[in-house]
Structure formats: structure tokens, C-alpha cells
Amino acid sequence: QVQLVESGGGLVQPGGSLRLSCVGSGFTFADFPMSWYRQAPGKERELVGVISARDDNSNYVDSVKGRFAISRDNGRNKVYLQMNSLKSEDTAVYFCNLLSNYWGQGTQVTVSS
């Protein structure tokens, strides 16, 4: 069955960086676009960005453009979210997603001094 497992979250100071990873299994990873979502306390889950299956085209929500970057390694079945210039409002649980149907367990990112 499809499994997505995120890692790499933690506590970081404002202005800092984190790199999240997600490894997928149970499907042909290279055939599918992959997405990152986040859910902040008391807020709805929102799409952060998406990367295409093979040509590395990516799109992002306006609030993270220029700060976040999604990449993937199809040989390792992994997708990454590089987060730079982090702000307190980036604090959330981050999830990777396949086809809007399959979710990982999430990884907590806390941006605080």
C-alpha cells in the first residue's frame, strides 16, 4: 500500500533554514507529482507547493515563494522541501501528499526564538 513518511522537522529560529524529506513507497514514485501541505494550529491545511513528476517544475503558494523550494530524487523515492528565511508564521505540521488522497504522518516545524 502507499506509504509516505516525512522527516526533518524541528525547532528553528526566525531566519533559519530546515530541509524536510519525504520517502514514498507502494507506488511508482517517478510517475506522480508530489505536494507539500502544512497545517498551522487552528487553521485549515493548506497547499505549500507541488513538483511535477519528471521535469522538476514546481509551483508554490505566494506566502513561501522565494523562500521554499521543492526538489525530488526519483531514484531514492524522495521529495524534499527546503525552507529558508523561516518566519514564525511558517510554524505548522508539514505533510507530503500524493494525488490529494495519500498523506504522511506529518512533521512538526516550529519557528521561534
- Residue 28 is predicted with a pLDDT of 96
CA dist., res. 85 & res. 39, Å (int): 19
- Residue 57 is predicted with a pLDDT of 94
The chain-wide mean pLDDT, for the chain, equals 96
Judge whether residue 98 has pLDDT over 90: yes
Relative to beta strand 10-12, strand 107-111 is parallel
- Residue 36 is predicted with a pLDDT of 98
- Residue 54 is predicted with a pLDDT of 87
CA dist., res. 28 & res. 18, Å (int): 27
Q: Are 19 and 80 in contact (CB under 8 A)?
A: yes
pLDDT digits (tens, 9 = 90+) for 19-71: 999 999 999 999 999 999 999 999 999 999 999 998 889 999 999 999 999 99
- Residue 16 is predicted with a pLDDT of 98
Relative to beta strand 3-7, strand 18-25 is antiparallel
Q: Which residue has the cell 516545524?
A: 109
